[in-house]
């Protein structure tokens, strides 16, 4: 990507998610909302997959919803946190034990090394996971590999303006950098996808107090894992200064956290070949944010 992003300590990030497995489902408010919005978007897509991969499934909320929507399909919930997948098993409860549709298969693996056969999946779904990678291209190539021809990739992730209030208060070195929508679109083409469509929306999540945002991030395992960054706050004074800076960003007495949500979908198709034998590059289309004036496609 044009601007170098600070690398993420993947081992530390995984440990954070492992510790937060029990509290993640209730604390991950934005991931829950975006997963529901993605499911609504599926209503406008004509697809009938026989096998579905939920890549970065966490507690498998959407994996179970996908299994209920596509009754004839087998669903695989993949996550690099074993504790998250184990918690998903608990969350399925008795009904999950009685119904194969309510309990997807669980696979503990990295997004860049998916242990599935090439062309074995009809739909790859990934909700708010790709921004945890330093470089999404490897995962996108794996998504393309496991998809069957005509298969669909549908994903969401955080964009650069996410948590800007926290970034201003804590300093850029204490908050993750998030990839730009246009760069992710370029990576989709580089991974071999046809006709990618990208769009974004800005959401603001209201909190009663800044402490509630910090608690949600902690309980969902989504505190900073930037490689080389100072771990934890120096002390009570450091935390007090951070909270004071966050309170200064309140609007009419209320505190908001901003999230830039990037959505994308693309199909795996056979490359179109010109008469001379050269492959025709797939088009890329960007959809402007809601309320923005229409812009020409690049």
d(CA 220, CA 87): 13
* pLDDT reading at 1 higher than 50: no
* pLDDT reading at 2 higher than 90: no
Q: Are 200 and 181 in contact (CB under 8 A)?
A: yes
Q: Are 205 and 261 in contact (CB under 8 A)?
A: no
pLDDT tens for 228-253 read 766 554 566 788 999 999 998 887 77
pLDDT tens for 148-185 read 999 999 999 999 999 999 999 999 889 999 999 999 99
Which pLDDT does position 284 carry in this prediction?
A: 44
* pLDDT reading at 263 higher than 70: yes
For the chain, which domains are there?
10-158+178-201+261-287 (3.40.50.150)
């Amino acid at each position: 990507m044009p601007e170098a992003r600070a690398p993420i300590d993947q081992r530390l990030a995984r440990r954070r998610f492992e510790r937060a497995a029990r509290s993640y489902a209730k604390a991950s408010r934005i991931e829950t909302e975006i997963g529901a919005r993605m499911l609504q978007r599926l209503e406008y897509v004509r697809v009938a997959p026989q096998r579905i991969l939920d890549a970065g499934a966490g507690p498998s909320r959407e994996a179970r919803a996908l299994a209920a929507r596509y009754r004839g399909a087998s669903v695989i919930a993949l996550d690099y946190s074993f504790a998250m997948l184990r918690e998903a098993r608990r969350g399925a409860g008795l009904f999950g034990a009685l119904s194969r549709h309510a309990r997807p298969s669980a696979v503990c693996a990295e997004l860049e090394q998916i242990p599935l056969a090439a062309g074995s999946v009809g739909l790859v779904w990934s909700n708010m996971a790709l921004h945890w990678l330093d470089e999404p291209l490897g995962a996108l190539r794996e998504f393309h590999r496991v998809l069957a021809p005509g298969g669909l990739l549908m994903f969401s992730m955080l964009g650069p303006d996410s948590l800007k209030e926290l970034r201003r208060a804590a300093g850029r070195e204490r908050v993750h950098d998030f990839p730009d929508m246009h760069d992710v679109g370029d990576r989709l083409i580089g991974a071999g996808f046809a006709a990618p469509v990208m769009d974004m929306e800005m959401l603001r999540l209201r909190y009663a107090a800044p402490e509630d945002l910090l608690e949600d991030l902690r309980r969902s395992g989504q505190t900073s894992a930037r490689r080389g960054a100072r771990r934890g706050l120096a002390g009570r004074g450091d935390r007090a200064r951070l909270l004071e800076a966050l309170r200064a960003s309140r609007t009419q007495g209320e505190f908001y956290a901003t999230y830039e949500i990037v959505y994308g979908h693309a199909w795996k198709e056979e490359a179109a070949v010109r008469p001379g034998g050269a492959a025709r590059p797939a088009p890329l289309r960007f959809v402007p944010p809601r309320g923005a004036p229409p812009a020409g496609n690049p």
